[in-house]
Amino acid sequence: MLKKKIILRIGTGIIVLLVIIDIIGSFYFYHLAISRNEKDFLQENEDLEVSAEALSEMLDGNWRGWVRKQNFETWKMTSFDDLNLQGYYLPAKQETNKTVIFAHGYLGRGLDMGMFGQYYYEQLGYNMFTADLRGHGESEGDYIGFGWHDRIDYVDWINQVIEKQGKDAEIVLHGVSMGAATVLMASGEKLPNNVKAIVADSPYTSVYDMFDYQMGRMFHLPAFPLLPSTSLVSKMRAGYGLREASAVKQVKKAEVPILYIHGNADTFVPTRMSEELYDQTNSPKELITFDGAGHGEAFVTHKENYIENLNRFLETYLPQ
């Protein structure tokens, strides 16, 4: 009898210890990935290494000088949960009803999308709008939304663009990485008919799937039990659960045509995620993959082909 009690106490102690470790780990992982702070753990991530060509363009491309020279209007907005958000609007050289609304990637800023915006503005003649997502840039927020709450923010930004441009405005949403997930998550909301097309470059299926993949790849850890616990912490602190934040769930409801773009050499967000999203999308859809392209770099490494497919898609749904 005494032996059984000792075994029971030891077993209970081990379970309690494991629960404590899981709780500590979930708060740590929330702080690491979701809380707004410096993300040093990404600095030496091999999955984020890009080709020399892409790195040169991203860091020193002439689009950066182009952005600095533009007279962007600064727009302000208060979100549904009382955060002050900031966006940037650039009217086209010649009046047009066509506008591209950009969404940037993890740890980026709205004006980083100038790399794409320069083409839309200079070659296609579009108005351009981009925003700092919550928890980024000049926008408030002590957590990163990974597109989930941002989807509601983007519906509000879309309505501001329509108010600016008028009821005949025609809009394309274009996002990269987390920004791609953001516009896909927005696709499942009740969007104005003015939104004619969506371009999603290197999106993930859901925040849970993305973390599951990264936990295995970066930390060599299984998803259970740490990821469900982290999801609970995220629900308490950021107001959303990791499974809840699903682009797959949203594209099933989408009515807007979607162009998926992904590099076949992307090891940060695997290509299979775009393939799954494509399969689950019920609106008109296309999927273009680029051989040898890493995460979000196809616009640089395969620019001519990228632009050719982009133009064809836009001409179908936003004809000149």
Classify each residue of 96-108 as buried b or exposed e, where b means 16 or more C-beta atoms within 10 Å of its C-beta: bbbbbbbbbbbbb
Report CA Rg, the chain. 21
Looking at residue 231, what is its pLDDT?
A: 95
Residue 43: CB atoms within 10 Å = 8
Cβ atoms of 154 and 186 within 8 Å: the answer is yes
Looking at residue 115, what is its pLDDT?
A: 96
Looking at residue 5, what is its pLDDT?
A: 64
Looking at residue 218, what is its pLDDT?
A: 83
Distance CA 56, CA 60 (A): 5
- Give the domains, in start order, of the chain with CATH numbers: 51-206+245-317 (3.40.50.1820)
Looking at residue 22, what is its pLDDT?
A: 63
225 prior amide bond cis, ω within 30: yes
Looking at residue 155, what is its pLDDT?
A: 98
**Terminal-to-terminal C-alpha distance of the chain:** 84
Looking at residue 23, what is its pLDDT?
A: 74
Cβ atoms of 273 and 204 within 8 Å: the answer is yes
Q: Which residues contact 1 (CB under 8 A, 6 or more apart)?
A: none
Cβ atoms of 286 and 255 within 8 Å: the answer is no
- pLDDT tens string, the chain, 320 residues long: the values are 656 666 666 656 555 555 566 678 788 889 989 999 887 765 555 655 556 667 667 776 899 999 999 999 999 999 999 999 999 999 999 999 999 999 999 999 999 999 999 999 999 999 999 999 999 999 999 999 999 999 999 999 999 999 999 999 999 999 999 999 999 999 999 999 999 999 999 999 999 999 999 999 888 888 888 899 999 999 999 999 999 999 999 999 999 999 999 999 999 999 999 999 999 999 999 999 999 999 999 999 999 999 999 999 999 999 98
Looking at residue 223, what is its pLDDT?
A: 84
Q: What is the dihedral of CA 84, 65, 259, 202, to 10 degrees?
A: -80
The half-sphere exposure of 162 on its side-chain side, counting CA atoms within 13 A, is 17
Looking at residue 50, what is its pLDDT?
A: 57
Looking at residue 81, what is its pLDDT?
A: 96
Distance CA 37, CA 197 (A): 33
